[in-house]
């Protein structure tokens, strides 16, 4: 989306938009995560279950966590901000079809050799930009012909992961391909039914799920110990409860429109927030 309608004249407006939608939520959620994990360290019974080093609360560490995101809940936004910054430099290259394909091929070759995740995600971002500019209509025209190979890619990647097969850097390239495959499949099987409001809060889920899920896992560990029953609850029940808690919290926050916009970068906002009260289920 950044590349398809980009021009140097739009750079200032686009960066201003990204400050609201990416940078501000990034800083806020890093600070929330910092306070959250600091709070866990003072709760009896849970503090001893935290498997990470947490510095005592101080303004210095609060600021460092806001900027660098040590708790890793915003790693995706870190990468995204880097790509947003270098996007204007990449655009002249991407506009040249043959040159961009050659560079993309060399980049993926580098990923295969080095298994570099940061460069690999950059390849995914670059692939999306090239497809969006040069091959968007062709990809759409393929339509249902993509279903079988895309499903095959998704299954293959999961089998390789489950069987713990070592294929080096090729595995990361397959993982990147799987992301694109899932995206295309979602478009192919998309239905025309308007989704519920809680189906449109993926950014809020992304920012909150790790903190809530980890806490529930610690509670299950304390209550049930290292047992098979506890492990089953951890795998099956904890993610479900996490999603339920997040939806409930989002339902509350959505009634404070300005707060919700700041936390989510204006994402997932209904024109009529009041409607969400009656449309919760």
φ and ψ at 5, to 5 degrees?
-125, 35
Given a cut of 50, whether residue 281 has pLDDT beyond it is no
Lowest mean pLDDT: which of 82-86, 95-99, 155-159?
155-159
Q: Mean pLDDT throughout 39-60?
A: 70
Q: In sequence order, what are the residues at sequence separation of 6 or more whose Cβ sits closer than 8 angstroms to the Cβ of residue 20? A: 265, 266
Q: What's the whole-number average pLDDT of the chain?
A: 78
Who wins on pLDDT, 274 or 106? Answer: 106
* Helices then strands, each counted (H, E), the chain: 14, 0
pLDDT band at 239, cuts 50/70/90?
Answer: very high
- CB neighbour list of residue 171: distance below 8 Å, 6 or more residues apart: 115, 157, 160, 161
Mean pLDDT of 181-204: 77
Mean pLDDT across 221-230: 84
Percentage, residues of the chain above pLDDT 90: 12
Q: How far apart are CA 54 and CA 70, in angstroms?
A: 10
Burial class (CB in 10 A: 0-12, 13-18, 19+), 79: middle
Please report, in angstroms and rounded to a whole number, the separation of the first and last CA atoms in the chain: 32
Asked if pLDDT for residue 201 goes beyond 70, the answer is yes
The reported pLDDT for the residue numbered 53 is 64
| pLDDT for 273 beyond 50 | no
pLDDT band with cut points at 50, 70 and 90 for residue 231: confident
Which residue in this structure is represented by tokens 């929330």? 32
Cα–Cα separations (whole angstroms), residue 157 to 103, 104, 148, 162, 181:
25, 21, 14, 9, 11
Provide the token pair at 36.
């959250």
Structure confidence at residue 149 (pLDDT): 75
User: What average pLDDT does range 96-124 have in this prediction?
Assistant: 79
Q: Is the pLDDT of residue 270 over 70?
A: no
Between 227 and 277, the more confident residue is 227
- Residue written as token pair 């809680």: 198
Tell me, what's the pLDDT at 278? 46
Helix (H) or strand (E) holding 216: helix 202-224
- Summarised one tens digit per residue, pLDDT across range 86-107 is 888 888 888 888 998 898 888 8
Phi, psi of 163 (to 5 degrees): -85, -5
Give residue 26's pLDDT.
93
Model confidence over 1-38: pLDDT tens digits? Answer: 466 677 788 888 888 888 988 999 999 999 998 888 88
- CA–CA separation, 144 and 165 (whole Å): 30
Q: Which pLDDT band holds residue 54 (cuts at 50, 70, 90)? A: low
């Amino acid at each position: 989306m950044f590349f398809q309608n980009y021009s140097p004249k739009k750079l200032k407006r686009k960066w201003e938009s990204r400050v609201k939608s990416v940078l501000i939520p990034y800083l806020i959620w890093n600070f929330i995560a910092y306070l959250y994990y600091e709070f866990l360290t003072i709760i009896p019974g849970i503090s001893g279950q935290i498997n990470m080093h947490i510095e005592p609360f101080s303004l210095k560490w609060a600021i460092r966590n806001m900027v660098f995101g040590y708790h890793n809940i915003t790693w995706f936004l870190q990468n995204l901000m880097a790509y947003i910054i270098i996007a204007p430099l990449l655009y002249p290259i991407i506009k040249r079809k043959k040159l961009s394909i050659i560079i993309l091929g060399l980049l993926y070759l580098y990923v295969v050799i080095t298994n570099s995740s940061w460069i690999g995600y950059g390849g995914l971002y670059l692939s999306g930009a090239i497809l969006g500019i040069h091959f968007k209509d062709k990809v759409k025209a393929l339509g249902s012909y993509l279903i079988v190979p895309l499903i095959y890619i998704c299954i293959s990647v999961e089998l390789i992961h489950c069987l713990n097969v070592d294929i080096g850097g090729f595995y990361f390239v397959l993982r990147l391909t799987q992301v694109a495959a899932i995206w295309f499949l979602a478009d192919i099987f998309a239905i025309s039914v308007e989704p519920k409001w809680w189906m449109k809060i993926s950014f809020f889920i992304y920012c909150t799920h790790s903190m809530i899920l980890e806490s529930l896992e610690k509670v299950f560990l304390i209550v049930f110990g290292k047992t098979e029953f506890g492990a089953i609850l951890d795998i099956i029940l904890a993610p479900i409860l996490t999603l339920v808690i997040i939806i409930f919290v989002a339902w509350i926050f959505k009634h404070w429109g300005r707060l919700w916009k700041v936390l989510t970068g204006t994402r997932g906002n209904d024109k009529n927030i009041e409607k969400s009260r009656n449309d919760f289920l």
